[in-house]
Amino acid sequence: MNLIISLIIYLVVFGLIWWLISLLPLPAPVGTIVRILFVVLLIWIILSVVGIVPGGPLPQLRF
């Protein structure tokens, strides 16, 4: 249950950050690079929360 709650919280936070990044008037190549890096970071965090990638950049949420 904690895993699902953690994933939901991470996805909401990253969704808000994605929305804020999309509001910034970045030039085409910079905006694309930022979005690609953001997606890679999101995939890395999801895999670390699930336990596929050892460790992780963010601490586990404890409830």
Over residues 7-61, the pLDDT tens digits come to 788 889 888 988 988 888 888 898 889 889 988 888 887 787 777 876 655 555 5
Asked whether residue 22 is domain-assigned, the answer is yes
Asked whether residue 60 is domain-assigned, the answer is no
Q: What are the contacts of 4-11 at 24+ separation with CB within 8 A?
A: 5/61, 5/63, 6/49, 6/60, 6/61, 7/46, 7/49, 9/61, 10/45, 10/46, 10/49, 10/58
Q: pLDDT band at 63, cuts 50/70/90?
A: low
Q: Residue 28: its pLDDT value, please?
A: 84
Number of domains in the chain: 1
Asked whether residue 34 is domain-assigned, the answer is yes
Q: Residue 16: its pLDDT value, please?
A: 93
Q: Is 32 exposed, middle or buried (0-12, 13-18, 19+ CB in 10 A)?
A: exposed
What is the span of the domain harbouring residue 29? 2-50
Is the whole-model pTM more than 0.75?
A: no
Asked whether residue 40 is domain-assigned, the answer is yes
